[in-house]
Amino acid sequence: RRRLGVAERAGVGWRSPSPPELCRSVLPRVPKEKPKAEAAPKPRQAPTDEAQMAAAAALARMELKPKAKLPSSQEAIKNQVRKELMAEAAASEKGLSAEEEDPPSPDQEGAAAPSVSGVYFICPLTGAVVRKDKKEKHIREAIRSYFSVDPVAASIMEIHTFNRDQERVRVGVETMAKYLDNIYLHPEEEKYRKIKLQNKVFQERISCLEGIHRFFQAIGFETKTLPVPGQGKKSKQTTEEYYVLKEEMLTKLEDLKDYKEQLLSSEPVRAQLDRQLSVFKPSPEAARFELPNDFYNLTAEEIKREQRLRTEAVEKASMLRTRAMREKEEQREMRKYNYTLVRVRFPDGYILQGTFYARESVSVLYSFVREALRDDWLPFELLGPGGLKLTDENLAFNECGLVPSALLTLAWDAAVMADVQASGEEQPASPLKPELLSRVQTLS
C-alpha distances (whole Å) from 396 to each of 297, 323, 361 are 17, 22, 4
Give the number of C-alpha atoms closer than 13 A to the C-alpha of residue 282, restricted to the C-beta side: 6
> What value, to the nearest 5°, has the Cα angle with vertex 53 and ends 50 and 54?
85
User: How would you label 255-294 residue by residue, b for 16+ Cβ within 10 Å and e otherwise?
Assistant: ebeebbeebeebeebebebbbbebbbeebeebbebebbbb
User: What is the amino acid identity at position 169?
Assistant: V
> What value, to the nearest 5°, has the Cα angle with vertex 383 and ends 361 and 274?
40
Tell the burial category of 342 from Cβ atoms under 10 Å away from its Cβ (0-12, 13-18, 19+).
buried
DSSP letter at 320 equals: -
What φ, ψ does residue 365 adopt, rounded to 5°?
-70, -40
- Please write the tens of the pLDDT for every residue from 135-183: 999 999 999 999 999 999 999 999 999 999 999 999 999 999 999 999 9
How confident is the prediction for the chain on average, in pLDDT? Answer: 78
- Please tell me the pTM assigned to this model: 0.65
Asked if 369 and 352 touch (Cβ cutoff 8 Å), the reply is yes
How far apart are the C-alpha atoms of 56 and 69, rounded to whole Å?
Answer: 24
How far apart are the C-alpha atoms of 267 and 321, rounded to whole Å?
Answer: 46
User: What is the amino acid identity at position 357?
Assistant: Y
- Please write the tens of the pLDDT for every residue from 404-430: 999 999 999 989 888 888 888 777 889
User: What is the amino acid identity at position 419?
Assistant: D
> Which SS3 state, helix, strand or coil, does residue 31 take?
coil
Phi-psi region of 386 (alpha: psi -120 to 50; beta: other; left: phi over 0): left
Structure confidence at residue 444 (pLDDT): 76
Mean pLDDT by runs of 10 across the 444 residues of the chain is 48 47 43 48 53 53 43 44 46 42 41 82 95 94 94 97 95 95 94 93 94 96 86 68 93 94 95 96 93 76 60 53 62 73 96 96 97 94 90 92 94 90 83 95 88
Beta strands in 214-338 (DSSP E): 221-227, 239-245, 272-273, 278-280
